[in-house]
Structure 1
Amino acid sequence: MKPGRVLLVLVLLAAASMLGGLAAGSSGFGWAVPDIVWQIRAPRVMAGFGAGAALALSGALMQLLTRNALADPYVLGVSSGASVGALSAMLFGAGVGWWAEWGIAAGAAAGAFGATALLLGLSWRVLSRQAASDAPVSLLLIGVMIGSAGSALITVLLTFAPEAQLRGMVFWLLGDLNGATHWSAVWTGLVLALALCWPWAHQLDWLARGDAWAATLGVPVARRRRQALLASALATGTAVATGGAIGFVGLVAPHALRLLGVRSAPWLLPASALAGGSFVVLADTLARTIVAPIQLPVGVICSAVGVPLFLALLLHGPRGGRR
């Protein structure tokens, strides 16, 4: 399928998913009074779409950087850093009171950029001693180690959390859009991330073919890699701050688009954002209605779809591993 046609279908899907999200409530489908639609449902839909779009964009960037179609924004440890920052804010009081949402968002952003700074520092130190061809593997290994350290810190924070806060913290780690009203931060992060990487998207395609190949074509390899990493960190940090740790979106959306024939980065990046946003909004709509009036965390639905897809990709390694 031609990329332009896929992009048009995704725009229509995004519009349909957002309309469905506005019509879905804890009691099932149906239009409610305007105050409920515009003050409760609309901010949640905007937050969910922005978070999904940011995570999918980050996933596409990570797959280009690592030359691995199974890469995920969480693989570089940025989401773990964001989770550590947000949970620390909850535990030490920044998530209490009138500025609770902003306190958690600030903690998540600080954690994300802290993890990114550590990633950039370690990768610069390690990659300066290695051949350029080893860069993607080394980047993955450093990210996995940062993510493991972040997971250990999350366990420590949960161990010391009081009973009154533990349930909310666990739900947040599962990915939860309940009460997500501050959607402007994630949309700002999404726009800035696109501005950092999309103007040079064709150079990311060359970079994905190999550092030596890109350098012969005049690509500033180190600068473009830093820009892509910062864009990914910005997108992931604001997404985690908005909706918690929603998994598998960065894996599912870009890879599904590649199977549809969208492989060129100038098309893949915006298409991934549209697909990821629609995916999260649809998952959240299902999470709100499948066992209404109980609302499931949106991360549960995303994982229910993402886990079997990930296993299917692993079972078809040669096909899934190509860019």
Structure 2
Amino acid sequence: MRLKPPPLALAGLLAALLVPAAILIGLLSGSSGWGWPKGDILWLIRVPRVLAAFGTGAALALSGALIQLVTRNPLGDPHVLGVTSGASVGALLALLLLPAGFWLGPEVGAMFGALASMTLVFSLTWRSMGRGLSPSAQPGTVVVLLVGVMIGAACGACVSFMLAMANDAQLRNIVFWLLGDLNGASMWWPVWGALAITFAISWPQARQLDWLARGDAWAWTLGVPVAKRRRLAILAACIATGVAVATAGSIGFVGLVGPHVVRLTGLRNARMLLPFSALFGGVFLVLADTFARVVIAPAQLPVGVVSAGFGVPLFLMLLLRRRA
């Protein structure tokens, strides 16, 4: 008889091995080659970039886990609520309208865009997010998903219009930002602050999120304020996603794949799923950014291209394995 290790011990061992290894690989790699960097290259370029990559990946994976819990949808992702698309619109408007080199222009624009899309989702679904207890009512989770998809489609149309109106000098920056790019990402601390705020909002209510994931009626019978918990969880996910997009641009599949990989270790309750999803998302994006820097060195790929290249087959493998 084979004895399997406890899920928490296995996940803890993987985290203890993968997190330091990913950070070390990120510090040792660069477009100029491998090796320990000296002086300013280490502290002004590589350390901020690795911290920004880890924080962005952790924020996106944590947001994906929260959305999957409250919507009871395994395909839940920050893109579903339209927050990523709204942040992209705000950042592109800043790139087009503000002078070149304007300090924190795209970041501030992305934050306002994420806030605007989040406010629009809340205003259109505020009442619906508390429904779903009656068999005749349209479940609030379905309404949130549909409204998020429609807002994302509208923002996509705005992005296409701005791409058509941009000149050649602006077009390259816009395209790289849309694909996700950590080159020059020196502002790493906002995404870590957003990650801490998201944890502070969601983790103390992890048990109630588990009950909510079983269904509104189940949670209601156990005394969970369904509407309040769902709104707070979605608000926390929007905060983390907005700051992550402001830091690194539009990066997909991290929030979708991260929670699924953690569940494969056996950690399915929210108290363990949320922190370990964040750790895996951070490791995944640091390694993806490392690959983006070295695969065609001295040139660099946008990290969003690499995350999609690895995330799509990984998610398909997980999906097919689950169906089998």
Q: Which bin holds the TM-score, normalised by the shorter protein?
A: over 0.9
Aligned residues of 2:131 and 2:139 also touching (Cα < 8 A): no
Counterpart residue number, 1:160: 165
Say if 1:313 and 1:183 are closer, same or farther in 2 by CA, change over 3 A. Answer: same
Identify the match of residue 317 of structure 2 among 308, 312, 317: 312
> Within 1, Cα distance between the matches of 2:120 and 2:237?
14
Counterpart residue number, 2:75: 70
Identify the match of residue 105 of structure 1 among 104, 107, 110: 107
Unaligned runs of 5+ in 1: none
Aligned to 1:28, the other structure's residue is in SS state coil
Counterpart residue number, 1:29: 34
The worse-fitting range, judged by mean Cα deviation, of 232-241 and 139-148 is 139-148
Q: Which residues in structure 2 correspond to 1:265-280 (within 5 Å)?
A: 265-280=270-285
| Number of equivalences | 316
Query: Identity over the aligned pairs, expressed in percent?
Result: 58
Aligned residues of 1:133 and 1:210 also touching (Cα < 8 A): no
1:134, distance to aligned residue in structure 2 (A):
1.7
> Within 1, Cα distance between the matches of 2:131 and 2:51?
44
Say if 1:316 and 1:146 are closer, same or farther in 2 by CA, change over 3 A. Answer: farther
> Within 1, Cα distance between the matches of 2:292 and 2:130?
46
1:17, distance to aligned residue in structure 2 (A):
0.5
Aligned to 2:126, the other structure's residue is in SS state helix
Counterpart residue number, 2:207: 202
1:5, distance to aligned residue in structure 2 (A):
3.3
Say if 1:311 and 1:21 are closer, same or farther in 2 by CA, change over 3 A. Answer: same
> Within 2, Cα distance between the matches of 1:282 and 1:313?
20
Unaligned runs of 5+ in 2: 1-5
1:311, distance to aligned residue in structure 2 (A):
3.0
**Partner letter of residue 188 of structure 1?**
G
Aligned to 1:29, the other structure's residue is in SS state coil
Identify the match of residue 192 of structure 1 among 194, 197, 200: 197
Counterpart residue number, 2:119: 117
Report Cα offsets for 1:139-165 as digits up to 9, x if no partner: 211111111011011111111112111
Query: TM-score, normalization: structure 2?
Result: 0.93
> Within 2, Cα distance between the matches of 1:24 and 1:129?
50
CA RMSD of aligned residues (A): 1.7
Report Cα offsets for 1:41-100 as digits up to 9, x if no partner: 110000000000000000000110111222111111000000001111111116x3351x
> Within 2, Cα distance between the matches of 1:52 and 1:260?
19
Query: TM-score, normalization: structure 1?
Result: 0.93
